[in-house]
């Protein structure tokens, strides 16, 4: 989707747009702050360029077009080779037009492209003398940059000494990973500062800071390698002849961090179609990356093509940035709602002035917990940076503190449960109603009765409300002691519907332990985690006997989650006892039981020994047909695990098999690209026929 240009209607609007972009660029390059988010800045610059095309006689000298860093950055350390910016494209059509223009310039079609993620940070040049890091320089205005050598030793991925004693310059991007950004804000707030609005600004501000009482780590990714005037002649000649991909391989040999070890390594491609496919692959992985990207950098890979194409005053003609839709925008925090979940967790939710990100209008964002609000120093009326990528729930990164007017108001935290008025347990970061699940009993029971949990047909939300209001059900176990007489006494419950519901409840008693565990709604677990726990421990007795150390043996449960799961299972003990007494199944069929004589906290196997999918990771995509047609995605995952496999929702090199039904799209395409085995639903059903009910 092409980023629209801002509409500039006259010379006055043009002059204002130039002034706004110059101020925004100056603020960013001075300290990492800006009144505009990246998307708003890009739209203004495109609007300025469009106006200047139609009115060349009115171009202002301060215009950001044709200038590195929008003309806002300066420096006093000359670059030996100009350190330019990149021109942008925003659609396949624009990229195809650029490749055609490049082909005309060099006299032939490009035979090899390189494609690598456009990292969302700050460009620097790192100079090495005899293999030792001696100087760090920002891009500046492209001809000279600012000396930031005080940051040497704080950049992960940029070694103090190369693996070989060479004199070279490594160019790359300095950024903060998601974890580094969170750490930086914790440290900054602890020292009395305002939290950074986003990782990019945090990197820019931190790199230039010289007199802070603290330091925080950042990460460097190399994207260029070139000789210096003192580089040994033979090496200089060799570097000048290497393709970009070969230069990156050489940088890695020297010990410099590149994207090669990430989920989105730089690759080479021979056609426009392959490049565009790679753009889509990187875009699909964007939300899962531990660092920010805002596009894909595409280059003519061969040195000869680069030399022939040359460079302009702002950007090389042999490289382009394919910008992805913005995932961060600035908007206003209007209010905070306090919602109570089915387990009694009181969750704050931000109400936002509507803003469009990746084609979706965002009006709400997660705030995690009260401690998070306090740590980020959020206030009603704040301009805030909102982040959303892919299907990830929108979140507020931080207030844009330099845009505050003084009219912002503190966020008021609830003193009692906003749903039932009971007290609030504030002993943990996530506050909880003291009534726990009973605060939102209807939601808890509706979830437990759902298709992917106990699958009690006929027990929808309306019926649950009726049972709770009638005083017949006070917890999950009460469902299993309902009598025919009690149900017939309810409004709109005839003999047939009563008998059908009682039959469904009786059937639910035989559901596997994994579904019972999921129905309990233990915080920190879901359908997949409940299956893993059940198949690992096999019986509810073993699960309840497990301590935190034993619980950590289950895949996906770490040191933080294990104690909370153990504690909540202890809290649920009376309910579990009632369920067992009512005849609800407490074992996982098909799982390997613990070895005789081993303590109750021991476990069975997470795989079905000898199953047809033993040791395999399986992804299901598209609509199932035949024997699998009526199975939900959760039921398919259960089936995979009963047959000895491991279900997954994403395709990667670790995937063993992709079951591709009708309408399978990107996951099937990715499996084909990776050479992963594909199976149609009927073929898969035959493979696991013994495990289909």
Inform me whether the pLDDT recorded for 371 exceeds 60.
Answer: yes
Inform me whether the pLDDT recorded for 16 exceeds 90.
Answer: no
Helix, coil or strand: residue 380: strand
**pLDDT tens digits along 483-514:** 999 999 998 899 999 999 999 999 999 999 99
* 556: nearest Cα among 602, 615, 606: 606
Structure tokens at 521: 């709604």
For residues 427-438, average pLDDT: 87
Instruction: Judge whether 375 and 185 are in contact, CB under 8 Å.
Output: yes
Domain boundaries, the chain: 11-65, 77-323, 328-410, 436-508, 513-581, 617-691
**pLDDT tens digits along 375-420:** 888 999 999 988 876 556 788 877 887 788 889 999 999 999 998 8
Q: Do domains 436-508 and 513-581 have the same CATH topology?
A: yes
- Quote the CA–CA distance of 235 and 179 in Å, as a whole number: 38
Domain 11-65 falls under CATH 1.10.287.610:
yes
Inform me whether the pLDDT recorded for 6 exceeds 90.
Answer: no
**pLDDT tens digits along 211-234:** 777 888 999 999 999 999 999 999
One of 3.40.50.10190, 3.40.50.300, 3.40.50.2300, 1.10.20.10 is the CATH number of 617-691, namely: 3.40.50.10190
- Quote the CA–CA distance of 228 and 77 in Å, as a whole number: 14
Q: Is the pTM of this model over 0.75?
A: no
* 476: nearest Cα among 522, 431, 434, 432: 522
Per-residue model confidence (pLDDT) at position 667:
84
One of 1.10.1270.20, 1.10.150.20, 3.10.20.70, 3.40.50.2300 is the CATH number of 513-581, namely: 1.10.150.20
Q: How confident is the model at residue 451 (pLDDT cuts 50, 70, 90)?
A: confident
Please tell me the CATH code under which domain 77-323 is placed. 3.30.470.30
CA–CA distances in Å: residue 440 to residues 34, 366, 465: 43, 20, 11
Number of H helices, E strands in the chain: 23, 25
Q: Poorest-confidence range of 138-142, 158-162, 579-583, 663-667? A: 663-667
**pLDDT tens digits along 178-204:** 899 889 888 888 888 878 877 888 888
DSSP 571-633: HTHHHHHHHHHTT---B-TTSPPPPTTS-TT----SS-TT-TTTT-EEEEESB--GGGTT--H
**pLDDT tens digits along 229-273:** 999 999 999 999 999 999 999 999 999 999 998 989 999 999 999
**pLDDT tens digits along 48-98:** 888 788 888 888 887 877 666 555 555 678 999 999 999 999 899 999 999
Per-residue model confidence (pLDDT) at position 486:
94
Q: Are strands 218-227 and 168-175 parallel, antiparallel or unpaired?
A: antiparallel
- Quote the CA–CA distance of 175 and 418 in Å, as a whole number: 40
Helix, coil or strand: residue 141: coil
CA–CA distances in Å: residue 443 to residues 343, 449, 465: 9, 10, 9
Strands of the 646-648 sheet, one edge to the other: 646-648, 617-621, 657-660, 677-679
Evaluated on CA atoms 182, 188, 192, 194, the torsion sign reads negative
Beta strands in 177-270 (DSSP E): 218-227, 267-269
CATH class of 328-410: mainly beta
One of 1.10.150.20, 1.10.510.10, 3.40.718.10, 2.30.30.230 is the CATH number of 436-508, namely: 1.10.150.20
For residues 5-17, average pLDDT: 80
Q: How confident is the model at residue 600 (pLDDT cuts 50, 70, 90)?
A: very low
For residues 620-641, average pLDDT: 87
Residues with catalytic function: 118
- Quote the CA–CA distance of 674 and 687 in Å, as a whole number: 22
Q: Are strands 646-648 and 424-425 parallel, antiparallel or unpaired?
A: unpaired
């Amino acid at each position: 989707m092409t980023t629209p240009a801002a509409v500039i209607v006259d010379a006055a609007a043009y002059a204002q747009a130039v002034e706004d972009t110059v101020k925004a660029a100056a603020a960013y390059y001075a300290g990492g702050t800006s009144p505009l988010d990246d998307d708003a800045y890009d739209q203004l610059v495109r609007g300025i360029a469009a106006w200047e095309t139609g009115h060349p006689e009115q171009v202002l000298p301060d215009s950001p077009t044709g200038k590195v860093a929008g003309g806002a950055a300066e420096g006093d350390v000359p670059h030996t080779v100009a350190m330019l910016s990149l021109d942008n494209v925003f659609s396949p059509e624009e990229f195809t037009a650029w490749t055609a223009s490049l082909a005309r310039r060099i006299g032939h079609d490009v035979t090899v492209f390189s494609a690598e993620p456009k990292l969302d940070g700050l460009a620097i040049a790192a100079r090495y003398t005899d293999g030792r890091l001696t100087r760090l320089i920002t891009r500046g205005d492209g001809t000279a940059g600012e000396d930031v050598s005080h940051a040497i030793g704080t950049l992960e991925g940029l070694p103090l000494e190369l693996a070989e004693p060479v004199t070279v310059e490594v160019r790359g991007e300095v950024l903060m990973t998601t974890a580094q950004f969170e750490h930086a804000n914790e440290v900054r707030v602890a020292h009395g500062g305002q939290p950074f609005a986003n990782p990019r600004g945090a990197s820019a501000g931190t790199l230039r800071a010289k007199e802070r009482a603290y330091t925080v780590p950042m990460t460097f990714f190399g994207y260029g390698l070139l000789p210096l005037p003192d580089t040994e002649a033979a090496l200089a000649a060799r570097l000048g002849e290497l393709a970009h991909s070969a230069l990156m391989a050489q940088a890695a040999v020297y010990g410099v961090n590149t994207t090669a070890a990430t989920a989105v390594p730089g690759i080479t491609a021979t056609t426009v179609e392959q490049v565009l496919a790679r753009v889509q692959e990187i875009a699909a992985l964007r939300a899962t990356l531990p660092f920010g990207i805002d596009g894909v950098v595409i280059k003519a890979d061969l040195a000869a093509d680069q030399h022939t194409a040359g460079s302009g005053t702002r950007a090389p003609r042999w490289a382009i940035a394919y910008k992805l839709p913005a995932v961060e925008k600035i908007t206003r925090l209007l209010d905070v709602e306090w919602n109570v979940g089915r387990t009694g967790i009181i969750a704050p939710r931000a109400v936002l002035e509507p803003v469009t990100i990746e084609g979706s209008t965002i009006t709400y964002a997660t705030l995690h917990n009260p401690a998070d609000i306090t740590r980020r120093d959020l206030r009603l009326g704040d301009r805030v940076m909102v982040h959303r990528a892919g299907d990830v729930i929108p979140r507020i990164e931080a207030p844009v503190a330099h845009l505050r007017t003084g009219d912002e108001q503190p966020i008021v935290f609830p003193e009692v449960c906003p749903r039932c008025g009971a007290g609030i347990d504030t002993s943990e970061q996530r506050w909880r109603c003291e009534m726990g699940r009973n605060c939102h009993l209807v939601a808890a029971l509706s979830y437990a009765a759902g298709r992917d949990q106990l699958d009690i047909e006929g027990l929808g939300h309306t019926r649950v409300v009726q049972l709770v209001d009638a005083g017949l059900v006070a917890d999950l176990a009460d469902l299993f002691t309902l009598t025919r007489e009690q149900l017939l006494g309810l409004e709109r419950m005839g003999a047939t519907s009563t008998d059908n519901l009682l039959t469904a409840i009786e059937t639910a008693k035989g559901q596997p332990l994994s579904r019972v565990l999921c129905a309990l709604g233990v915080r920190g677990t879901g359908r997949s985690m409940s299956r893993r726990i059940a198949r690992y421990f096999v019986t509810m007795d073993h699960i309840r006997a497990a301590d935190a150390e034993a619980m950590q043996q289950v895949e996906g449960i770490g040191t933080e989650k294990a104690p909370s799961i153990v504690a909540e299972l202890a809290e649920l003990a009376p309910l579990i006892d009632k369920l067992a007494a009512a005849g609800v199944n407490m074992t996982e069929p098909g799982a390997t039981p613990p070895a005789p004589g081993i303590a109750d906290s021991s476990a069975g196997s997470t795989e079905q020994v000898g199953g047809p999918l033993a040791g395999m990771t399986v992804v299901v995509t598209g609509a199932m047909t035949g024997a699998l047609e009526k199975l939900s995605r959760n039921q398919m995952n259960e089936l995979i695990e009963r047959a000895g496999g491991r279900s997954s929702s994403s395709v990667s090199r670790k995937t063993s098999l992709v079951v591709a039904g009708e309408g399978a799209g990107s996951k099937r395409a990715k499996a084909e690209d990776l050479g992963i085995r594909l199976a149609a639903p009927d073929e898969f059903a035959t493979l696991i026929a013994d495990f289909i009910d």
